[in-house]
Amino acid sequence: MREIVFDTETTGVFPDHLEVELRDRIVEIGCVELFNLERTGREFHVYLNPERSVPDEVVRVHGLTREFLSNHKKFGEIVDEFLEFVGDAPLVAHNAGFDQGFINAELRRLKREEQGNERFIDTLQIARKRFPGASCSLDALAKRFQLDRHGFDLTARKGAGGHGAIIDARILAEVYLQLKGGREQRLVFEPETAASEANAVARTVQFARRQPRETPLAPRISADEEAAHAAFIEKLGPSALWLKTGS
């Protein structure tokens, strides 16, 4: 199944602020394509001109200044490319309501159709059900699943500007795989597939009947052992199984 793991970076947390000039905007979108939970290598990544200022405290998080962003396209200039990339695939995000709110706010400004709740998969909710009471931030999950073993530089995220949409989307793609059971889950067949495989094996394996020896092997029991065995059987009485089987 095709899915899109994505993340956004923004100018703040209020995409629908009552004052138009204070409404926060998207400054970066990062998307990673999955097929059967594995990354295909296809990605979509853009920086966006938010057409407004970027607060210093936000710049310290993602490192994207207004000067840098002013040289990039606006959301309306990339919307068709973005929608074509995601297609009709489920959209996977961490704290998906936040990213959904910003994507839909941008679409509303362009009078484009918004993305419904049914399209979004929230890995934060999945993680909270799996690890109740524990921290379920993306950083905490990346550490829990030891993503540094998969080549992710988790220490770089602790510094200023360490967060980025495409970086976080790549990390989330691996976290999502682990939340769904890890690569081991790929070893579990669907019931129909397992039955088909079992029938195929049953049809191909044939057991040949072993032919008896022409000359039976000589008994290895000694006369004394045979006498001792007979004496033991006699003690069991006339109903002993040994007498019924003739052994």
The CA dihedral of 222, 223, 226, 232, to the nearest 10 degrees, is -120
Chain-centre distance for alpha carbon 198? 27
Given the residues 17, 45, 72, 163, select the one marked as catalytic.
Answer: 163
CA–CA gap between residue 135 and residue 243 (Å, rounded): 71
Please say if 94 is a catalytic residue: no
The partner residues of 93 in beta bridges, in order of sequence, read 122
Chain-centre distance for alpha carbon 12? 28
Please say whether the beta carbons of 110 and 82 come within 8 A: no
CA–CA gap between residue 172 and residue 93 (Å, rounded): 8
Q: Which residue in the block uniquely carries the two structure tokens 């088909």?
A: 196
Instruction: Supply the Cα-derived Rg of the chain in whole angstroms.
Output: 33
Question: How many other C-beta atoms can be found within 10 angstroms of the C-beta atom of residue 138?
Answer: 19
The residue type of 179 is: L
Give the CA count within 13 Å in the CB-facing half-sphere of 19: 3
Give the CA count within 13 Å in the CB-facing half-sphere of 51: 10
Kindly report the three-state secondary structure assignment for every residue of 71-113. CCCCHHHHHHHHHHHHCCCCEEECCHHHHHHHHHHHHHHCCCC
Which tokens belong to 232? 């033991």
Residues carrying an active site annotation: 163
